[in-house]
Homo-oligomer: A and B are copies of this chain.
Amino acid sequence: MSIVVQKYGGSSVADAQKLKRVAERVMQTSASGHAVVVVVSAMGDTTDELLALAKTISPNPDRRELDMLLSAGERISMALLSMAIRELGGDAISFTGSQSGIITNDRHVDARIIEVRPFRVQDELARGKIVVVAGYQGVSYRKEITTLGRGGSDTSAVALAAALGADRCDIFTDVDGVYTSDPRIVAKARKLGRITYEEMLEMASQGAKVLETRSVELAMNHRVRVHVRSSFTDAPGTLLVDEDEIVEHQIVSGIAYSRDEAKITVQKVADRPGVAAAIFGPLADNAINVDMIVQSASEDGQTADLTFTVAQADLDRAVSVLEQSRGELGYAALKPDSNVVKISVIGVGMRSHAGVAKQMFRTLADKGINIQVISTSEIKVSVLIAAEYTELALRALHTAYGLDVAG
């Protein structure tokens, strides 16, 4: 029998009424002849509320204890959903991440799945049961309860789908699919019927919030057919597919943005070998990820300016790390700037089409938008611009690449 994994996010199971509706949908899928595994997030804002409660007790709570706390949220929703399915006559059983065999590393609060051993899930499916699994959590090889970080339930669902050889992994969420750009900003954004794994991965890592990056990566590596769709309608959503399953490619499939970037410029560092290592070494040692980097000659011809981006949350820490190395680096000034946004145009069509970047730069120039940093990959061009231009840039690029809905 074909296995379908369905994942429901927090907003889809926010209260008893919504849980009952999810139970009905699960029953429909089961009635249509599939073995169903359901992965649930915590109800509504439970995780945030538990986190807030922890912060009132300890500003910097122990990470293992935080995992103990946060994992309770999904246990509540999985048990209630299982009851709701049974109430409709379905034979459901719920499992924690640990019982589902989701084995992780030991990094509490942000653990990575290292193996899935879904023996109990398989046994219960073979007995004809609907299996409900707590998302976002696993158990470390040290037998400690772990959580998978933001968006972790997507990762749980895709990892289970891969391990079970599921036909499909439905990700039910509060939007009805993946759009060419954020529809809250770009009114003419179109829903994509299909998107390649590679594009989705770039979309997610460049700021699109619909799927978590790791879950896309996992889906891509195991060729899991992920279907992103709305839990509130029956409309088809967006299917993640291989490149050869899309007959006619747009050159650009989507435009993502991220407000989570901050820029630091290190002015007038000596332009000699090893200086980049001297700057980025201490940042890496402090687990600060650097994304975009550009180096330019200073006016004096003797020194260079180095500009790069880090996550907003890391900005203060990055500045203080660099200030500590000032003596060694001998720069003239540090200029932090959190008032920036990263805009990315993404499409596998770029591989065979030149001119995508040029069109981007021209479109932005026509609107009087200054580009601060550029970075590119095979299927993506990203630029850093001032945050105030976000909406203007997204809409202009969306039109320029011919993505607007007709009419």
Check A57–B83 contact: CB distance below 8 A: yes
Copies in the complex: 2
Segment 15-64 of A: residues with Cβ below 8 Å from B: 16, 19-20, 50, 53-54, 56-58, 61-62, 64
Check B50–A65 contact: CB distance below 8 A: no
The tally of residues in A whose CB lies under 8 Å from a CB in B reads 36
Q: Which residues of B contact A145 (CB under 8 A)?
A: 96
* A173 at the binding interface (Cβ < 8 Å): no
Q: Which residues of B contact A54 (CB under 8 A)?
A: 79-80, 83
Check A65–B94 contact: CB distance below 8 A: yes
* A380 at the binding interface (Cβ < 8 Å): no
Check A84–B72 contact: CB distance below 8 A: no
Task: State A57–B406 Cα separation when bound (angstroms).
Answer: 45
Q: Give the Cβ gap from A139 to chain B, nearest Cβ, in Å.
A: 11
Q: Interface code A95-123, partner B: CB below 8 Å = 1, 0 otherwise?
A: 01001000000000000000000000000
Q: Which residues of B contact A84 (CB under 8 A)?
A: 57-58
* A86 at the binding interface (Cβ < 8 Å): yes
* A71 at the binding interface (Cβ < 8 Å): yes
CB < 8 Å neighbour of A80 from B19, B57, B76: B57
Q: Give the Cβ gap from A55 to chain B, nearest Cβ, in Å.
A: 10
CB < 8 Å neighbour of A72 from B56, B57, B72: B72
CB < 8 Å neighbour of A87 from B57, B75, B76: B57
Check B75–A61 contact: CB distance below 8 A: no
Task: Give the dominant DSSP class at A's interface.
Answer: helix
* A93 at the binding interface (Cβ < 8 Å): yes
Check B79–A19 contact: CB distance below 8 A: no
* A334 at the binding interface (Cβ < 8 Å): no
A87 to B, closest residue via Cβ: B58
Q: Which residues of B contact A69 (CB under 8 A)?
A: 75-76, 79-80, 83
* A78 at the binding interface (Cβ < 8 Å): yes
Please indicate which of the listed interface residues A20, A58, A61 has the most CB atoms of chain B within 10 Å of its own CB.
Answer: A58
Task: State A75–B80 Cα separation when bound (angstroms).
Answer: 17
A71 to B, closest residue via Cβ: B75
Q: Which residues of B contact A65 (CB under 8 A)?
A: 79-80, 82-83, 86, 92-94
Check A16–B56 contact: CB distance below 8 A: yes
Segment 310-367 of A: residues with Cβ below 8 Å from B: none
A74 to B, closest residue via Cβ: B72
Q: Give the Cβ gap from A380 to chain B, nearest Cβ, in Å.
A: 41
Check B76–A50 contact: CB distance below 8 A: yes
Task: State A250–B361 Cα separation when bound (angstroms).
Answer: 95
Task: State A19–B57 Cα separation when bound (angstroms).
Answer: 8
CB < 8 Å neighbour of A68 from B20, B75, B86: B75
* A369 at the binding interface (Cβ < 8 Å): no
Q: Which residues of B contact A75 (CB under 8 A)?
A: 68-69, 71-72, 75
Check B16–A57 contact: CB distance below 8 A: yes
* A66 at the binding interface (Cβ < 8 Å): yes
Check A83–B71 contact: CB distance below 8 A: no
Check A57–B20 contact: CB distance below 8 A: yes
Q: Give the Cβ gap from A73 to chain B, nearest Cβ, in Å.
A: 8
Check A72–B83 contact: CB distance below 8 A: no
Q: Give the Cβ gap from A60 to chain B, nearest Cβ, in Å.
A: 9
Task: State A78–B16 Cα separation when bound (angstroms).
Answer: 26
Q: Which residues of B contact A20 (CB under 8 A)?
A: 57
Q: 12 A-B residue contacts at CB 8 Å?
A: A20-B57, A54-B80, A57-B80, A58-B83, A58-B84, A62-B83, A65-B82, A65-B93, A68-B82, A69-B75, A71-B75, A72-B79
Closest 9 CB pairs of A and B: A69-B79, A68-B79, A72-B72, A58-B83, A58-B87, A72-B75, A16-B56, A61-B83, A65-B79
